[in-house]
Amino acid sequence: MEFTPHNGKHAVQRTVFAVFFSETPLSRPLTKSDFDKASKTISTLPGSRSFQAINIEINEDGPRQGTKDTGLQLFLSEPDGTPAWLLQVAPNHILVECRIYTRWEYVWQLAQSYLSEAIVAAGQVRQSPISITRLELVVTDRFETSSSKYSLSSLLKPNIMVPQKVFGSGPAWHAHLGWYDEKQPRTLHNVNLDAKPVVDKQEDGPWQVEIMHFQRMLLDVPYVGGDTVAADLEARFFRMHHENKSVVSSVLTEEMSRQIGLLGDH
C-alpha cells in the first residue's frame, strides 16, 4: 500500500516559528493598535482575539483563582474556521504558525515579516529593545495511505531514528529521538514519528504517518532585536530549515524524498 504526501507535491502539514524573550515579560498584553497601522503585512491577518491564562492570587483570605488576558492572537482563517496563519504574542514569546505551506521562500517571507513587526511592537510596549534568548522551529510532515495494510518500507527506511522493530509491529507505532548538535549556537533536536488512523479510533479507514521535527536554538549571548533583526532571524531560521530537510530526507526512502523535492529548496 503506497503513501501520498499530505499536500501532493510536499508533505508539510504545519510549520511553527517561535522567538523567546529574556526572563523579563511584557508589562501588558499587546493589542492590534500597537502595530503600525501602515503595516501591509499585519493587515493580512484580519482576525484578532486575546487569550487568557489562569491567574492564582494568594492573600489573607486564601488562594483565589481567576483568568486574565495575557496575550494577543492575530489570524487568517480557512473557510472551516481553522487558522491558516496565526501570530501569537505572549508575555515571553512570539509565535507564528502556518498551516498552508507552499514553498519555504514564500512561507518564510511572511513569517519573517510577522515576527519582525511583532518584535518591534513588543519593544515599544516594553520601551526598550527585546533581548532574544532562543529560537524554535517545528515542522510536521504527514503522509497518508488508504488502509492499515500499508507497506512502511515504501515510505521509510531503517536508521537510528526509525528502528527496525516498527517495520513489523503492526500499523500503529511511535518512535522518538532527541540530541544536541555540535554547531554553535547549540541546538536541541527532537524527532517524533507516529503512525495512526487519520480519524481517531477509526482503524478500518485511512492511516497516516507523521514526522514532527522540533528544533530549539539556544543563544549563548542573547541578541537585542534592532534594525538587523530580520536578517538575524533569516540566517538562523535558514540553518534550522536546512537541518530539517536533512533529518526528514534521512528517514524517508529515496523515492519519496525525490517526490517531495527535498533535493530542492522547498
Q: How far apart are CA 215 and CA 237, in angstroms?
A: 10
Q: How far apart are CA 158 and CA 33, in angstroms?
A: 52
Residue at 245 is within a domain: yes
Residue at 227 is within a domain: yes
Asked whether the beta carbons of 162 and 174 are under 8 A apart, the reply is no
Q: How far apart are CA 130 and CA 135, in angstroms?
A: 13
Q: What is the pLDDT of residues 66-90, one digit of tens each?
A: 556 678 999 999 988 889 999 999 8
Residue at 176 is within a domain: yes
* CA dist list (Å): 186 to 5, 9, 92, 217: 31, 32, 21, 6
Q: What is the pLDDT of residues 185-213, one digit of tens each?
A: 999 999 999 999 999 888 999 999 999 99
Residue 43: name the closest of 102, 7, 106, 87 by CA.
87
Residue at 118 is within a domain: yes
Q: How far apart are CA 50 and CA 28, in angstroms?
A: 12
SS3 22: coil
Residue at 235 is within a domain: yes
- Full residue range of the structural domain in which residue 195 is found: 4-51+64-259
Could you read off the pLDDT tens digit of each residue along the chain, which spans 266 residues?
A: 589 999 888 899 999 999 998 766 677 888 888 887 657 788 899 999 988 765 555 656 666 655 566 789 999 999 888 899 999 998 889 999 999 999 999 999 999 999 988 988 888 887 777 889 999 999 999 999 999 999 999 999 999 999 999 998 899 999 999 999 988 899 999 999 999 999 988 899 999 999 999 999 998 777 666 667 788 899 999 999 999 999 999 999 999 999 998 865 55
Please provide the size of the chain in residues: 266
What is the pLDDT at residue 143?
97
Number of domains in the chain: 1
Residue at 150 is within a domain: yes
Residue type, 111: A
Dig out the grid coordinates for 17 from the structure.
516559528
Residue at 264 is within a domain: no
Q: How far apart are CA 90 and CA 88, in angstroms?
A: 6
Residue at 56 is within a domain: no
Sign of the dihedral through C-alpha 150, 151, 152, 154: negative
